[in-house]
């Protein structure tokens, strides 16, 4: 039993909230979205953090669902792999996939969010209210307390259903924690490292100064630099560095001299491309790298968390936005099945989705170590070479963990994690035990990897008494 008269409130018009709003409007609901920031199409609010993101297949599937894929594509810059920069300035490529049609897309968060807001404007039954900050939600009465930055007044709005898509610092999640109406499992975990965004500007002709076809990485074990291309020829560079440990850290890099010395010794080729390094380092904020998990995601039939509000993750798998967009795809399918019964929808949604968002959170942390450290490890390099060859030779049958997570939107994250970790373990052990090498026949390698992967999964099943 659908009741399209339901008045839906969405808190947060970021990537997830604006997509969800569009989709619910397409389904005929009356939707009001409250967003704390001004309209980013008319105001620059980037402020040196999370400027660009990697859009991949799970995200694109959600764009298709909302009918906006064709509008999104022109904003994308394909990145076919990592280009690893060593300390001498040598580079070596490591493709994401052995299949030519698989790549991830560098995209501007602001441009994409703006596109979704513009799409939202097409629906008469959907209204976005900017500059309205949510300070908390009475989860029993489904009333949001808002502060209007323009009129400097407070207001309360009540909805039949409230969606919290207000990101890692979600006010709805905070209300779940503070109201203590139920046992709320909640975890916020920070890495010991923070991040800072810098910029490689475009050439005088507006061209990219290094290849725009790759995600650039300067892995150095304890810290790492990455760079993603922008449409205007610039690159957004992100430094990941410890707050207070090691020789170089955010606490002790406080002078222009020390910052330049750090880059000159550790990232000499990058330093040459970042003219305003000291100024940007000093002025851009240092961001924290946190993972948020919680449960339950909803309260009765009244309100529910989606996107980063339910499961913020670290950026190292390039899946934060994709996971939030996929939330909308998964939610939409369950809504289709149970329309009219919000409590069932919310329960089935969490039951269906939670293991997958937990998995991508853990995979993202794994990738933090992989990117800053393992990509320079010899045995890891052999593994990637073998996987590229397998994907090229068996494009329909072999998928690396990275490919399953990134390009196979029909494989849930949790399955990709379980299968992918077993496969990684199989290949690394086969290499270490000299049972396979890069010169061997690919058919033989493929069979050995399959057998060993299945044996690992079977051993784990037995150990779990399943």
Among 147, 149, 184, 250, contact with a copy of itself (rule: CB under 8 A): 184
Residue 42 vs 185, nearer CB to a copy of itself: 185
- Minimum distance from residue 184 beta carbon to a copy of itself (Å): 8
- Minimum distance from residue 355 beta carbon to a copy of itself (Å): 15
Task: Tell me how far apart the alpha carbons of residues 263 and 271 are, in angstroms, rounded to a whole number.
Answer: 6
Answer yes or no whether residue 379 interacts with a copy of itself by CB under 8 A.
yes
Q: Among 140-148, 161-169, 400-408, 428-436, which window interacts with a copy of itself (CB under 8 A)? A: 428-436
| Residue recorded with tokens 């507006």 | 206
Which residues are CB-neighbours of 369 under 8 A, at least 6 positions away? none
Residue 27 vs 425, nearer CB to a copy of itself: 425
Q: What are the tokens at 337?
A: 């099945």
Among 432, 438, 443, 444, contact with a copy of itself (rule: CB under 8 A): 432
Among 87, 209, 278, 288, contact with a copy of itself (rule: CB under 8 A): 288
Answer yes or no whether residue 424 interacts with a copy of itself by CB under 8 A.
yes
- Minimum distance from residue 424 beta carbon to a copy of itself (Å): 7
Half-sphere exposure of 394 (CA within 13 A, CB side): 16
HEC assignment per residue over 178-200: HHCCCCCEEEEEEEEEEEEEEEE
- Minimum distance from residue 111 beta carbon to a copy of itself (Å): 30
Among 101, 185, 396, 439, contact with a copy of itself (rule: CB under 8 A): 185
| DSSP run (H or E) holding 320 | helix 320-338
Half-sphere exposure of 406 (CA within 13 A, CB side): 25
Answer yes or no whether residue 396 interacts with a copy of itself by CB under 8 A.
no
- Minimum distance from residue 379 beta carbon to a copy of itself (Å): 7
Answer yes or no whether residue 382 interacts with a copy of itself by CB under 8 A.
no
Task: Tell me how far apart the alpha carbons of residues 337 and 333 are, in angstroms, rounded to a whole number.
Answer: 7
Burial of residue 460, with CB atoms counted within 10 A of its CB: 0-12 exposed, 13-18 middle, 19 or more buried: middle
Answer yes or no whether residue 1 interacts with a copy of itself by CB under 8 A.
no
Burial of residue 59, with CB atoms counted within 10 A of its CB: 0-12 exposed, 13-18 middle, 19 or more buried: buried
Number of separate helices (H) and strands (E) present in the chain: 15, 19
Which residues are CB-neighbours of 54 under 8 A, at least 6 positions away? 79, 104, 105, 106, 107, 215, 228, 318, 321, 322
CA distance to 63, 317, 404, per residue, from 73 (Å): 10, 21, 22
Size (the chain), residues:
466
Of residues 40, 116, 59, 32, the one with CA closest to residue 329:
59
Query: Binding to a copy of itself (CB under 8 A): which residues in 25-84?
Result: none
| Residue recorded with tokens 């010794």 | 265
CA geometry: angle 281, 202, 216, nearest 5 deg:
70
Site string for a copy of itself, 238-257 (x = CB under 8 A): -----x--------------
Answer yes or no whether residue 190 interacts with a copy of itself by CB under 8 A.
yes
- Minimum distance from residue 312 beta carbon to a copy of itself (Å): 13
Among 377, 438, 443, 444, contact with a copy of itself (rule: CB under 8 A): 377
- Minimum distance from residue 193 beta carbon to a copy of itself (Å): 11
DSSP assignment of 387-455, as one string? HHHHHHHSTTT---HHHHHHH-TTS-HHHHHHHHHHHHHHHHHHHHTTS--TTS-HHHHHHHHHHHHHH
Q: Among 303-311, 391-399, 442-450, 457-465, which window interacts with a copy of itself (CB under 8 A)? A: 457-465
Answer yes or no whether residue 133 interacts with a copy of itself by CB under 8 A.
no
Answer yes or no whether residue 451 interacts with a copy of itself by CB under 8 A.
no
Residue 1 vs 465, nearer CB to a copy of itself: 465
Answer yes or no whether residue 428 interacts with a copy of itself by CB under 8 A.
yes
Answer yes or no whether residue 459 interacts with a copy of itself by CB under 8 A.
yes
Give yes or no for a contact between 25 and 126, defined as CB atoms under 8 angstroms apart.
yes
Residue 90 vs 185, nearer CB to a copy of itself: 185
Among 425, 435, 440, 442, contact with a copy of itself (rule: CB under 8 A): 425
Chain positions contacting a copy of itself, by CB under 8 A = 183-190, 243, 288, 290, 293, 373-374, 377, 379-380, 421, 424-425, 428-429, 432, 459-460, 462-463, 465
């Amino acid at each position: 039993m659908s009741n399209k008269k339901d008045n839906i409130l969405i808190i947060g018009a970021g990537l997830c909230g604006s997509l969800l709003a569009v989709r619910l409007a397409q389904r005929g609901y009356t939707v009001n979205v409250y967003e704390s920031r001004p309209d980013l199409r008319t105001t620059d609010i980037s402020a040196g953090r999370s400027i660009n993101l990697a859009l991949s297949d799970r995200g694109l599937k959600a764009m298709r669902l909302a009918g906006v894929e064709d509008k999104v594509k022109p904003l994308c810059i394909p990145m076919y792999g990592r280009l690893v920069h060593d300390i001498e300035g040598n580079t070596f490529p490591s493709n994401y996939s052995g299949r030519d049609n698989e790549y991830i897309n560098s995209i501007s968060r602001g441009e994409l969010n703006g596109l979704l807001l513009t799409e939202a404007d097409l629906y008469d039954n959907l209204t976005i209210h900017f500059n309205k900050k949510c300070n908390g939600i009475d989860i029993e009465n489904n009333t949001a307390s808002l502060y209007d930055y323009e009129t400097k007044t407070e207001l309360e709005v009540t909805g039949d259903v409230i969606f919290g898509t207000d990101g890692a610092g979600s006010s709805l999640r905070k209300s779940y924690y503070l109201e203590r109406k139920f046992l709320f499992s909640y975890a916020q975990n920070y890495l010991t490292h923070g991040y800072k965004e810098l910029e490689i500007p475009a050439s005088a002709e507006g061209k990219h100064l290094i290849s725009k076809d790759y995600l650039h990485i300067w892995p150095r074990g304890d810290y790492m630099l990455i760079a993603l291309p922008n449409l205007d020829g610039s690159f957004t560079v992100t430094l990941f560095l410890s707050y207070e440990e090691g020789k170089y850290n955010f606490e002790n890099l406080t002078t222009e001299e020390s910052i330049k010395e750090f880059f000159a010794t550790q990232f000499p080729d990058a330093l040459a491309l970042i003219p305003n390094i000291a100024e940007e380092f000093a002025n851009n904020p240092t961001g924290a790298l946190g993972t948020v998990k919680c449960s339950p995601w909803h309260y009765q039939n009244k309100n529910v968390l989606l996107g980063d509000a339910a499961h913020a993750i670290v950026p190292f798998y390039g899946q934060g936005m994709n996971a939030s967009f996929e939330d909308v795809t998964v939610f939409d399918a369950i809504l289709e099945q149970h329309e009219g019964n919000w409590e069932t929808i919310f329960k089935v949604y969490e039951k269906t989705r939670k293991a997958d968002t937990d998995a991508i959170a853990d995979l993202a942390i794994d990738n933090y170590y992989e990117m800053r450290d393992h990509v320079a490890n010899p045995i890891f390099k052999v593994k990637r070479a073998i996987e590229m060859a397998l994907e090229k030779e068996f494009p329909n049958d072999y998928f690396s963990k990275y490919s399953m997570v990134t390009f196979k939107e029909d494989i849930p994250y949790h399955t990709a994690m379980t299968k992918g970790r077993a496969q990684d373990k199989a290949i690394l052990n086969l290499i270490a035990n000299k049972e396979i090498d890069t010169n061997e026949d690919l058919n033989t390698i493929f069979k050995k990897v399959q057998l060993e992967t299945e044996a690992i999964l079977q051993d784990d099943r037995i150990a779990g008494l399943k």
